[in-house]
Every structure is written in structure tokens, then in C-alpha cells.
Amino acid sequence: MLRPILKYGDPLLHQTAQPVDAITPEITRLLDDMIETMYAAPGIGLAATQVGVPLRIFVVDLSVGRDPDALMTLINPEFVSREDMQIEEEGCLSAPGFTASVARPGRIVIRGLDRAGEPRTHEGEGLLARAFQHEMDHLDGTVFIDRLRGIKRDMIVRKIRKLTRAGKW
């Protein structure tokens, strides 16, 4: 089932997600819905908080559904290590139409549980490292716009406020 993706400014996007206590049929259904929603958007990652569920879950697939082996589901993810730095243009399904350069780690090792509750460790560089950090930010109540400073952030926030007032956000 497709779920609506919350947009920047929704207070739920700024809440810290809670750990998942048990992998229940409801959690499995949430994962399936998140995957379907991410592919339909289309996007390369989606956190549960973006669909209004404040749980520490995210999905990532750089292939956008073209490679079944590329899909990663992480429940209760945590960083093992973060190294180096990259600055690249980034967008977000919760801020459609907006992008900005954001500093992120160049390499990340992350661990969490897969949908079967088995521990998994994933290593990512470049875009995958960026996606891991981006989704972890969502679980901590941060949208990429919150990482921006100065005029770029101010311009995006002003445009979103204007769209909101016009009923187009």
C-alpha cells in the first residue's frame, strides 16, 4: 500500500524515532509499504518517519528497484563508523523540488536488523554512504534542509512557506 510522504514543515519529521521492540506482522507490512512508496516516488531511500511512523526503520535501494539484490532494509540501525567527507547535491522525498549541496561522510559502516530480525552490517561509499546518513538523519528528526546554513537554507524555507500559504505544499 502506498503511504503519503510527509513534507518538510510537518512536525512529525522533526521527532526522534523510537526503537522497534519486535518484528511483528505490522512491522513487516510497514516495510512492504515503505518499499512500494519509495519506488513509486521514485526515490533511493525512505525512513519510517517520512510516512508518519516514528520507528527506527529505513529502506535504501540505489537501483530504484532495477536490482532486487540492491534493496536494503534496516531496523534499529546504528553507525559502526563514519569516515572522510563528501559534498554533493542532495534532495529528499519530503522536500520535493528542492536540492542543495550537503556535507556527508564519504564512507559509512552501519548495522541493524533485516526484515527477518537477523543482524546485518552494510558498508557504503559515495552515494550509498550519503543515503545511509540521510536516512539516519530522518530517524533523528533532521531533514537535509536543517543541515543547510545561510542564504540557501533561507531561500528554500521561504519558498516552502510561500507554497504552504498558497495551498501547494
Task: Give the tens place of pLDDT for each residue, 119-143.
Answer: 999 999 999 999 999 999 999 999 9
> What's residue 167's pLDDT?
96
In a domain, 2, yes or no: no
Closest by Cα among 131, 139, 113 to 55: 139
In a domain, 122, yes or no: yes
In a domain, 141, yes or no: yes
Angle at 21 (CA atoms; ends 23, 131), nearest 5 degrees:
75
Q: What is the CATH number of the domain that holds 56?
A: 3.90.45.10
Split at pLDDT 50, 70, 90, the class of 56 is: very high
pTM: 0.96
Indicate which residues carry an active-site annotation. 135
In a domain, 6, yes or no: no
> What's residue 101's pLDDT?
96
In a domain, 1, yes or no: no
Residue 124 domain boundaries: 11-165
Split at pLDDT 50, 70, 90, the class of 83 is: very high
Mean residue pLDDT of the chain comes to 97
DSSP letters spanning 57-115: EEEE-TTTTS-GGG-EEEEEEEEEEEES-EEEEEE-TTSTT-EEEEEE-SEEEEEEE-T
> What's residue 41's pLDDT?
97
- Split into its structural domains, the chain has a count of 1
What's the whole-number mean pLDDT along residues 17-46? Answer: 98
Split at pLDDT 50, 70, 90, the class of 39 is: very high
Rounded distance between C-alpha atoms, residue 48 and residue 58, angstroms: 6
Percent of the chain with pLDDT over 70: 100
In a domain, 152, yes or no: yes
In a domain, 5, yes or no: no
What's the whole-number mean pLDDT along residues 14-28? Answer: 97
